[in-house]
Homo-oligomer: A and B are copies of this chain.
Amino acid sequence: MRKINEECGIIGIFGQKKQNVAQMTYYGLHALQHRGQEGCGIAVNDDGVYKLHKNTGLVTEVFDVRTLESLGEGNIAVGHARYGTAGSKGAVNCQPIVVNHVKGNLCVALNGTLVNYAELRSELELEGAMFHTTSDAEIIAYVITRERIKSKSIEEAVNRAMGLLEGAFSLVIATSTKVLAVRDKFGFRPLCYGVTDDGTYIVASETCALDVLGAKFIADVTPGEIVLFNKQGVQNIKDNCGKVQECPCVFEYVYFARPDSVVDGSSVHEARKRAGRFLAMEHKVEADVVIGCPDSGIDGAIGYAEQSGIPYGLGFLKNKYIGRTFIQPEQGMREKAVRMKLNVIKETVAGKRVVLIDDSIVRGTTSVYVVKLLREAGAKEVHMRVTSPKFIGACYYGTDIDSPDKLIANKHTTEEIAEIIGVDSLGFLSIDSVKKIPSNYACHNYCISCFTAEYPTKKPDLQGKSKFESKITKNV
Residues of A within 8 A of B (CB): 23, 26-27, 30-31, 33-34, 48-55, 58-61, 63-65, 67-68, 70, 91-92, 94, 97-103, 105, 121-122, 125-132, 134, 141-142, 145-146, 149, 208, 211-212, 214, 258-260, 262, 267, 269-270, 295, 298-299, 302, 306, 311-314, 317, 319-323, 325-327, 329, 336, 339-340, 343-348, 468, 470-476
CB-CB under 8 A from A94, the residues of chain B are 476
Please list 9 pairs of residues, one from A and one from B, whose beta carbons are closer than 8 Å in the complex, sorted by A's number.
Answer: A33-B319, A34-B321, A60-B327, A64-B327, A92-B92, A94-B476, A97-B132, A211-B339, A323-B323
Cβ–Cβ contact B122 & A102, under 8 A: yes
Q: Are A100 and B53 in contact (CB under 8 A)?
A: no
With A52-B473, A473-B50 as contacts: A126 and B145 at CB distance below 8 Å:
no
B339 touches A314 (CB 8 A): no
Query: Within the assembled complex, what's the spacing in Å between the Cα atoms of A28 and B329?
Result: 12
Please determine whether A145 and B132 come into contact, CB atoms closer than 8 angstroms: no
Contact assessment for B325 and A34 in the assembled complex, using a CB-CB cutoff below 8 Å? no
B270 close to A347 (CB less than 8 A) = yes
Contact between B53 and A475 (Cβ–Cβ < 8 Å)? yes
Nearest-neighbour CB distance to chain B for A436, whole angstroms, equals 17
Copies of chain A in the complex: 4
Residues of the B chain whose Cβ atoms lie less than 8 Å from the Cβ of A339: 211-212, 214
**How far apart sit A145 and B131, CA to CA, in the bound complex (Å)?**
10
Residues in chain B near residue A92, CB distance under 8 A: 92, 476
Q: Would you call A471 and B48 a contact (CB within 8 A)?
A: yes
Task: State the CA gap A218–B92 with chains docked (Å).
Answer: 38
Q: Which residues of B contact A299 (CB under 8 A)?
A: 314
Minimal beta-carbon separation of A307 from chain B (angstroms): 12
In the complex, the answer to whether A475 meets B70 with C-beta atoms within 8 Å is: yes
Contacts of A474 in B (CB 8 A): 51-53, 98
Residues of B within 8 A of A344 (CB): 260
Residue in A105, A141, A336, A348 whose Cβ sees the most chain B Cβ within 10 Å = A348
- Provide the residues of chain B in CB contact with A321, threshold 8 Å: 30, 33-34, 58-60
Closest to A133 in B: B132
Interface of chain A, helix or strand or loop or mixed?
mixed
Q: Assuming A52-B475, A68-B327, A259-B345, what are 8 further A-B pairs, CB within 8 angstroms?
A: A31-B319, A31-B340, A60-B326, A98-B474, A99-B472, A212-B339, A259-B317, A476-B476
Q: Could you tell me the distance in whole angstroms from the C-beta of A190 to the nearest C-beta in chain B?
A: 17
Taking the closest CB of chain B, its distance from the CB of A437, in whole angstroms, is: 13
Return chain B residues, CB-CB under 8 Å to A476: 52-55, 91-92, 94, 476
The residues of B that contact A314 with a CB separation of less than 8 Å are 259, 269, 298-299, 302
Docked CA distance A128–B125 (Å): 11
Asked if A102 and B128 sit within 8 Å, CB to CB, the answer is no
* B471 pairs with A50, CB closer than 8 A: yes
A81 to chain B, nearest CB (A): 10
Among A98, A260, A325, chain B packs the most CB atoms within 10 A around the CB of A260
B146-A128 in contact (CB<8A): yes
Q: Which residue of B lies closest to A262 (CB)?
A: B346
C-alpha gap A125/B101 in the complex (Å): 7
Instruction: Give CA–CA (A322, B211) in the complex, Å.
Output: 16
Residues B471 and A105 in contact, CB atoms below 8 Å apart: yes
Q: Is the CB of B472 within 8 A of A212?
A: no
Closest-CB distance, A256 to chain B (whole angstroms): 14
Q: What is the CA–CA distance of A313 and B51 in the complex, to the nearest angstrom?
A: 44
User: Residues of B contacting A343 with CB < 8 Å?
Assistant: 31, 208, 211-212, 258, 260
Q: Please, which residues of chain B bring their CB within 8 A of the CB of A259?
A: 314, 317, 345
Q: How far is the CA of A70 from the CA of B474 in the complex (A)?
A: 10
Pairs A-B, 6 closest by C-beta atoms: A128-B146, A260-B317, A53-B475, A33-B321, A100-B471, A260-B343
User: Which single member of B27, B101, B267, B327 contacts A346 (CB below 8 Å)?
Assistant: B267
